[in-house]
Structure 1
Amino acid sequence: MNDTARTPADLLRSALAADPARPLLTFYDDATGERVELSVATFANWVAKTANLLQDDLAAQPGDRVALLLPAHWQTAAWLLACFSTGTVAEPGGDPAAADLVVSGPDHLDAARACRGERVALSLRPLGARFPQPPEGFVDYAVEVPSQGDRFAPYSPVDPEAPALALPGGEELTGAQVVARARRSAEELGLAPGSRLLSAADYDDWAGLASGLLAPLAAGGSVVLCRNLDRLDADALQRRRESERVTHSAV
């Protein structure tokens, strides 16, 4: 477990330096049959591209509020770390009308139109495919992100004591507090380097964010993130645990 990281982005940088090839996030959607496995290096590349889009094309500034109207998904995980990397405040389930930018999946586009700032739409289709027809008034993430740079550097260093995460219910955490709470959650879940945690929780509270990304990242482990897991019967779930070498569960 990294004891020197001061921001969530530091946790990712440490994981990248330690072992870029190891799996970090494996995503399943049992409604579509999708499976995506991201190594630390591949996930970090998506985060860098997303952060460059956020900072350069969308002109986000440190302290800007980014409403994330997204389910637990590998692309949502990339957006969370991109927000942490740019110093913007990630707001899972945040109010679009009060946000500076909004990032929405296909189920929340109408609500997202309340945002007066930049709007980004994610199709959440398998393999990160674009929308067949881009939603009016939105940037299509799948169209814009591939051309972004593979490395990211913020224009100014991210302040670990600045707000980084706004949780549903009104609680706000600084970057340093996110790291500290992620470490505590990792300890509570019994995670250690190499642990592989299966999570079916949504990203709508701390428990879901921790089990679905932040605690495994802080512990040097990995996550098997499952959407629509209720479609599996007990035998199929057990086969997944075995095939993915799951060591811990948050189902």
Structure 2
Amino acid sequence: MQRRSRTLTSDSNPPQGDTVPARVEEVSIEKEMKVSYIDYAMSVIIGRAIPDARDGLKPVHRRSLFAMWEMGNTHDKPTKKSARVVGEVMGKFHPHGDASIYDTIVKMAQPFSYRHMLVEGQGNFGSVDGDSAAASRYTEVRLMPYSEALLEDIEKETVALVPNYDESLTEPVVLPAKIPNLLVNGCDGIAVGMATKMPPHNLREVCSAVIGYLDNPEITVEDLM
């Protein structure tokens, strides 16, 4: 079995001068790779790549919608510059660069990317042929009524809130989601050792299936279909 040496500093014996007290710990390469791989894979799966089944959203989507909701950027109010929304999301909830945030907002505003759009956009948001959207300083956005149904009652302690990245604000773990968004809009994601791609489904049929399951938890797939 291959092994490697890992040197760790000892907190109980602080370094004096150029001497750094240390201990050598033998670690199995196979064990270390297994543990590190699983930790990294779970971090990617939970942290950014795979949508949550409860609201059908990845963290960047959820944070973008929540930030727009907190800004009052709803469907019945004037649109706001995309650059302003991106800055709000990045500054408060998702400090991982503006490009990924704007790309997410653009996709949520494309009728060819979502069966039910989550964001209403004004300006050039790209095309089905692969044309890029205009820069965020040129486009404007606001929430769609559909996405507001995912956010309604969030202020009534319907879902758990956790501290944001710098613990200055709180953000929802998941949206209340009155609509089974995962089934209705579908999803796709590529993680580490895992991938998913679900097609969208008709909203009326999904709601009928949910009601049927509530009325009869033992309902068969044939009856649902």
Q: TM-score range by the shorter chain?
A: under 0.3
TM-score by length of 1: 0.20
> Under a length normalisation based on structure 2, what TM-score does the superposition of the two structures give?
0.22
Structure with the bigger RCO (C-alpha within 8 Å, sep 6+) is 1
